[in-house]
Each structure stands twice: as structure tokens, then as C-alpha cells.
Amino acid sequence: MLFRTKASQIAKGFKNHQRAKQTFTVVPKVASHCYVFMALILSLINFGCTNTSKSDQSSVIESSSESKVLKVWWDKGFTVEEDEALQQIVSNWEKQTGKKIKLSFFTNDELPKKTKRAIKAGNPPDILVGYNAKTELNPRLAWADKLVDVSDVIEPVKTFYPETTLEDVHYYNNVAKKRSYYAVPLHQGTIHIFYWRDLLKQVGRSENDIPKDWDKFWEFWKQVQDDLQAKQKQLQKQNIYGLGFTYSIGASDTYYMFEEILEAYDVQLLDSKGQLLIDDPKVRQGIIKSLEWYAKFYQQGYVPPDALNWLNPDNNRNLLNRAVVMTPNNTLAIPIAVRQDRDTYLNKLGTLEFPNKPNGKPMRYLVLYKEAVLFAESKNQKIAKSFLGYLIQPEVMGSYLKASGGRNFPVLKSVWKDPFWTDLTDPHISVVAKTLITRQTRSYYSAQNPAYCIVLEENVWGKALQRILVDRITPEQSADEAIKQIKQIFAQWH
């Protein structure tokens, strides 16, 4: 999610060249000057025609030149440094190739919407790079033959990618009737738990006291809230909540977390071929249990009341403002926000993996990839592939991710060897590295079946939770409504 710590944004200047207009006024003093007057008028008409002709010709030249400029849309970075690092990559490539790139940044909430409008208008960018575009858009675009097969871009570095990463971008094209690589993975992230060590210390606890058992782990944060609120009441201070869970329809964080809860309870919604399994009574029961589990923390008062309306940045803000003790998040945006305060970064803020599943087995993590796709409508496919090939060179992508402060973890295994990613003195990056290198992972279901993109886009799980918490229906009723909606989505897709 995006939570910007700096109000300033990089402003890119654009020069508008406008031809100056000249006004000629002729006032004849005597009738004998009429021939001079007419001559002036004729010269002005001739000048105007000549001027218009040159202007039109210039527009044609500029239009032709513009078509050769690579248009790239990218979701906006968390910090100014992150955007500047990308701009430096673009500048270096331009110098090496003599080609030009028009780079535009959009928030990760705005990017999918703008892309859909551009596709509908027949004017998409050449290259699109984003997170939400992955879970909500890219597999559908590949299915509809809207993307270019980028196998030739991936092939030179294919051995550097984990197999699970390659599977994630191996989309099905319903026109070509085959699967192939239709996206280039750039980096990855998964959900971790971020919390305040110093708040635990206030109630006599430490990181060593946090259980690994599923139920005890979550009860721990409830008890911390109870103890902190008792202390806050004595000091007449604002309440601190134990958990920073998101329950809104408007936030992707809602379904990211809920999908991880489904995984914790071993609820498998699709089989290996991407077919629905939700008619299985065991799957239905698993959905009911997961909804009931997630809703209860709000019902019991262990989550801020306004979490029903949070957007993606809001759980970050609430943790950084110390309104909650802990919150899940799928990047290191929270640690990066306090990176300049070394005491807070190294000592006060902590990063945790999930506890073991309810059955005692280690958690399997859902991985969210940031990907680049090339549109089939692009007139600059050869140039675009050249840029993508440059972008995913290990030294280029590695330097970019380091310049971004390590907010996102590399996908190329060769980059992992850099001590920056495995430095145990860093309490945040080292935890993410341990998770993504050594733990079991899987992709979101959208990689298996494009119809599941719509399940995420519609935020079916957010709606189901709202039905329980706002409309007061039972988890069983809510689960049945969600199942019905998912089945309708899959039926309409085909």
C-alpha cells in the first residue's frame, strides 16, 4: 500500500511551445492610399496561409516524433528517492540507446482505473508497471490477447527467477489458446506483522513473549490492548488498540489479509487447473470459519471503530501514530517511514512473521509481485522489450531496490547474494528475506484463473465482512452470499 511520508512530489516540467500571434492594424489616411492598403491585406493573407501551413507541418512532425517515444506508466513510489531512482534508470537507458521514454507516475489505487479507461479509448501506454494491476488486471489482459508475449525478455535471466515466480506470470491467452509469459516480474512482497516493541515494554512484555501458536498469538495482542488501555485510562490518554486490521470494501488490504487467513485455515478455493472448489462443504465451512474469525476482533473492540472505512494507507497511519500496537502490511513501507530515526527503526519498531497455522504447520505465504507488461497495441514493441531487458538486469534492478530503501524484495535470486538483503543487524529486511527465501509461498488465485481477478477487484471478502459487521447477518449467511457471487463471476467470465 502507499503511505507517503513526504508531502513533496517530483514535478516533471513540460514545455509548451506556442507560436506568437501578430496583429496588424492599417489606418488609411487618404483615399489614394487604397492600393497600399490592399497590398498590405494581401500580404497578410499570404503570411497567414504560409504560417498555418508551417504550423500544420510542425504538428505532423511532432506527432510522428511522439509516436517513437516509449510511454511508461508506473505506480508512484513510497518515497521521493524511489521515484528518483527509477528516473535515473530511465535516463541511463536513454543515454545508452538514444531512445526516449515518457515516464508517468500514478498511485496504485489510481493506476488500474486509468489503465482501463485508456484501454477502452484505444490509447494504453506501451508499458504498465504496478501491484494492483497484477491482482486485478494483468491476467485478464493476457486472456483477451491484449498483452505481448515477453518470453524473449525473460529467457536471458530465466534461471535467476524462482519457479513459483515464473508460474505467477505464465498466463493463459484465450485467443492463442496457450499459456506463455505475458508479464515480467520486478520485485515481490508478502504480509508481515509490524508492531511497537516499546509499547510492549510499557506493559512488561517483549518480543520473546510473543507466542508462535495461532490462537495464543492473536490473544497476546488482545491482552496487550487491555493492559495498555487500563494504563491509558489512568493517564487520561486516548485508547490504543491491539490490532490494525482493515475491514473496508475500498482497501485491497482487506482481501490481502483475508486471503492469508483462508490459507491459514487451509481453505483451497481453486484446484490446480483453476476450477472452483467452493461447492465442497468443507470449503464452505472453511470460509465461514475464516469470516467469523476475522470479524470477531472488530466485534470485540480490538480494532479501531473506523477500520470499517479505512483505505490502503490508513493502517500504516494508525500504526505510525501509535493508535494501534500492530498491523499487517505487504511491504516495508512502515519501517521505511521511520528509517531516518535510527533508534525507532532499530529498536522501537519490530517486524514479525505470521504464527504457525491453527493445525500447527508453518504458514504458507501469498506473494504479491510487481510486474511490467507490454501492450499489444504498442507501436514500440521492439524498443519496449529493449527497455524491459535492461530494467531486469540484476545490477540495475538490485540498485533500484536498494535505492528504494529495501521496501520491496528482489525476485532475482542472484540479487539475494547482496549482503544488503540478508544483514541480520537490520530487524526488518532480514525478516522479509528469511520469509521469501526459506518459507513456502504461493501466488494469488488470479494467476490460475483470470476470473479470480474480478473476485479481488469486487472485494468480495470486504463485502462479506461488511455484511457481518454492518448489516449484522451471520457468518453462514455472509459466506453463502460470497460463494454465490464468486460462482456468478466465474460463470459470466466464460
Report the candidate in 186, 176, 127 with the shortest Cα–Cα distance to residue 380. 127
Which of 57-61, 278-282, 435-439, 489-493 shows the lowest per-residue confidence on average (mean pLDDT)? 57-61
Report the candidate in 138, 30, 192, 211 with the shortest Cα–Cα distance to residue 376. 138
Residue type, 380: N
- Residues forming beta bridges with residue 71, ordered by sequence position: 102
Q: What is the pLDDT of residue 384?
A: 98
* CATH (residue range 68-189+368-438): 3.40.190.10
Q: Region 304-308: what's the mean pLDDT? A: 97
Q: Are strands 192-196 and 324-329 parallel, antiparallel or unpaired?
A: antiparallel
We find that the CATH architecture of domain 192-366+445-493 is: 3-Layer(aba) Sandwich (3.40)
Residues 165-212 pLDDT 10s? 999 999 999 999 999 999 999 999 999 999 999 999 999 999 999 999
Which of 86-100, 101-115, 142-156, 410-424 shows the lowest per-residue confidence on average (mean pLDDT)? 101-115
Residue type, 441: T
Q: At 350, give phi and psi (nearest 5°).
A: -125, 155
Q: Where are the domains of the chain?
A: 68-189+368-438, 192-366+445-493
Confidence of residue 254 (pLDDT cuts 50, 70, 90): very high
DSSP 8-state class, residue 343: H
- Same fold for the pair 68-189+368-438 and 192-366+445-493: yes
Residues 12-53 pLDDT 10s? 333 333 333 333 333 333 333 333 333 433 333 343 333 333
Q: What is the pLDDT of residue 234?
A: 66
Cell of 424: 541480520
